[in-house]
Amino acid sequence: MRVDVVTIFPDYLAPLELSLVGKARRAGVLDVRVHDLREWADDRHRTVDDTPYGGGAGMVMKPDVWGEALDDVVASGTATPDDGAATPDDGVATPDDGRRPRLVVPTPSGRRFDQACAHEFAAEPWLVFACGRYEGIDERFVDDAANRIPVTEVSIGDYVLNGGEVAALVVVEAVARLLPGVVGNPDSLVEESHGVDGLLEYPVYTKPPSWRGLDVPDVLLSGHHGKVARWRRDEALRRTAQRRPDLIDRIDPERLDAHDRAV
């Protein structure tokens, strides 16, 4: 998968060098390219924002600068080696060549980003993130992009960040770990919170069996797989009902057995 991130703070994306995402990049599973939006500004001050029409506080990011940035990033993916287009040749295979990306715009007014959305994005060959700052990007940037490529505006939660960079990090990490070969043991993708059964994950324990007067639940030491599985499901149900009752309401009743209902 190819990921481009356009931002006025490229350094914010440095964590994409680390951990699993960094490993995926080095393994060639993920091709990440971070761009400084100011490269597309055309004045001496490298201006990317202006005052809002209609008045009000703050500044709005200019559609022309964003539009040209997106045009160039999109063109870099459709370029062939001979046509002279500015495509960094870093030796990483780009399965997206000749394809169009999905534009992802992090914004608190977007669609809520969740695990289902992470799976949808993981099925795309190429994502381009447009990280806005200030009061956001002029609406015409998204309107214009949507005439040519699919666009999703996403929010990572009901709170306001200073810009889209941290949200882009969140989305890239959630998506990258779904790509084949990125997470070592694929079973760990199945059992975790927001997995297939729609429940939060059960509590987990490791050695020692007793620590600071707190004991690992006996059933986990019993070696009885059936009882362990039942205990884990009960705990997941209990925890979900307590912390996220909204998730319980969304579970298909067909997937709940009589024991589940009693928990």
Q: How many residues bind ligand ADE (CB under 6 A)?
A: 12
Q: How far is the CB of 151 from ligand ADE (least distance, A)?
A: 14
Contact with ligand ADE (CB under 6 A) among 10, 52, 67, 108 = 108
Q: Has 161 been labeled as part of a binding site? A: yes
Q: Which is nearer to ligand ADE, 112 or 255 (CB)?
A: 112
- Contact between 60 and 51 under an 8 Å Cβ cutoff? The reply is yes
Radius of gyration over every alpha carbon of the chain, rounded to an integer in angstroms: 23
Q: Has 156 been labeled as part of a binding site? A: yes
Token pair for 155: 């929010």
* Residue from 166, 161, 189 nearest 177 by CA: 189
Long-range residue pairs from 53-57, CB within 8 A, at least 24 positions apart, any chain: 56/135, 57/135
Cα-based angle 16, 19, 25 (whole degrees, multiple of 5): 55
What sign does the CA torsion over 148, 167, 236, 262 have? negative
Q: Which is nearer to ligand ADE, 77 or 106 (CB)?
A: 106
Q: What number of other Cβ atoms are within 10 A of residue 260's Cβ?
A: 15
Q: Has 160 been labeled as part of a binding site? A: yes
Stretch that binds ligand ADE, among 41-49, 57-65, 158-166, 218-226 (CB under 6 A): 158-166
What sign does the CA torsion over 141, 142, 146, 147 have? negative
Q: How far is the CB of 219 from ligand ADE (least distance, A)?
A: 40
Separation CA 145–CA 139 (nearest Å): 10
Q: How far is the CB of 167 from ligand ADE (least distance, A)?
A: 3
Q: Has 72 been labeled as part of a binding site? A: no
Q: How far is the CB of 263 from ligand ADE (least distance, A)?
A: 33
Q: If residue 105 lies in a helix (H) or strand (E), which one and from where to where? A: strand 102-112
Stretch that binds ligand ADE, among 72-80, 156-164, 191-199, 209-217 (CB under 6 A): 156-164
Half-sphere exposure of 194 (CA within 13 A, CB side): 11
Q: Which is nearer to ligand ADE, 80 or 162 (CB)?
A: 162
Q: How far is the CB of 189 from ligand ADE (least distance, A)?
A: 24
Residue 155 interacts with ligand ADE (CB under 6 A): yes or no: yes
Residue 7 interacts with ligand ADE (CB under 6 A): yes or no: no
Q: If residue 208 lies in a helix (H) or strand (E), which one and from where to where? A: none
Instruction: List beta partners, residue 111.
Output: 154
Separation CA 226–CA 218 (nearest Å): 14
Site mask, ligand ADE, residues 49-88, x = CB under 6 A? ----------------------------------------
Contact with ligand ADE (CB under 6 A) among 59, 79, 92, 161 = 161
Residue 164 interacts with ligand ADE (CB under 6 A): yes or no: yes
The residue ranges that bind ligand ADE (CB under 6 A) are 106-108, 155-157, 159-161, 163-164, 167
Task: List, as residue ranges, the binding site for S-adenosyl-L-methionine.
Answer: 132, 156-161
